[in-house]
């Protein structure tokens, strides 16, 4: 995918106030520090479109990007960062829940999980909740460059095992790295396929 002109449209605290559009939108979410900003930058091939930060929990808004006029990316706040107060966490989850339930042009949600650590209950819970809500989702394992092949395989399996209690058929799983660009093409093919399922 050639990206010509990705644009940051702005940040919103309420999804209701986000600009309405019929352009297909794809959202990205994960725990703080999972590598979400890095992955979005990797996907759109820009170094600093989504700001990467070493300070977890900084992103507290819904950030919107228009990609070459044909689709949008929504960068959702990281869920469950421990150093944010409980009220803030609730506010985040309400904001996220509202967006996911009401954004009419949302095509699919990419849920990022860190491959370096064992499956986190918070991630599993969030993934299961989205499943209950029937939100089309794609799991993306991040930072795969940090693992050797056997470790990678067992981590992916551990995540799948943790989910299989709940899921009859698991959602698609993409292994990614913003360092090596692994998974980038697969993410684009999921996006284009979900916009035009009958093409190719």
Ligand X SMILES: Nc1nc2c(ncn2[C@@H]2O[C@H](COP(=O)(O)OP(=O)(O)O)[C@@H](O)[C@H]2O)c(=O)[nH]1
Residue with structure tokens 């994960």?
30
Residue ranges in 40-59 that form contacts with ligand X under rule CB under 6 A: 52-54, 56
Retrieve residue 172's tokens: 């698609």
Shortest distance in whole angstroms from residue 15 CB to ligand X: 19
* Contact call for residue 145 and ligand X (CB under 6 A): yes
Closest CB to ligand X among 169 and 174? Answer: 174
Cα–chain center distance at 140: 7
H/E element holding 7? strand 6-12
* Contact call for residue 38 and Mg ion (CB under 5 A): no
| Partner that binds at residue 184, options ligand X, Mg ion, none, CB closer than 5 to 8 Å by kind | none
**CA angle, residues 126, 132, 135, in degrees to nearest 5:** 80
Kindly determine how many residues on this chain lie close enough to bind Mg ion according to the rule CB under 5 A. Answer: 2
* Contact call for residue 38 and ligand X (CB under 6 A): yes
Contact 49, 39 (CB under 8 A): no
What residue is closest to ligand X based on CB? Answer: 35
* Contact call for residue 189 and ligand X (CB under 6 A): no
Retrieve residue 86's tokens: 């409980």
Contact 65, 49 (CB under 8 A): yes
By CB under 6 A, name the binding residues for ligand X: 30, 32-38, 52-54, 56, 78, 142-143, 145-146, 177-179
């Amino acid at each position: 995918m050639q990206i010509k002109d990705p644009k940051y449209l702005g940040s919103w605290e309420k999804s209701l106030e986000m600009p309405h559009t019929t352009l297909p939108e794809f959202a990205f979410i994960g725990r703080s520090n999972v590598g979400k900003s890095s992955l979005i930058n990797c996907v759109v091939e820009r170094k600093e479109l989504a700001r990467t930060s070493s300070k977890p929990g900084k992103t507290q808004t819904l950030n919107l990007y228009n990609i070459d006029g044909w689709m949008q990316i929504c960068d959702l706040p990281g869920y469950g960062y421990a150093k944010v107060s409980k009220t803030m966490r609730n506010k985040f989850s309400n904001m996220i829940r509202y967006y996911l339930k009401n954004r009419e042009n949302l095509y699919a949600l990419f849920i990022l999980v860190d491959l370096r650590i064992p499956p986190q209950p918070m991630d599993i819970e969030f993934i299961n909740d989205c499943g209950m809500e029937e939100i089309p989702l794609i799991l993306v394992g991040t930072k795969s460059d940090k693992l050797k092949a056997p470790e990678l395989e067992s981590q992916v399996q551990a995540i799948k095992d943790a989910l299989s209690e709940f899921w009859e058929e698991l959602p698609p799983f993409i292994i990614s790295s913003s360092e090596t660009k692994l998974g980038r093409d697969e993410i684009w093919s999921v996006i284009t396929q979900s916009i035009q399922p009958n093409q190719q």
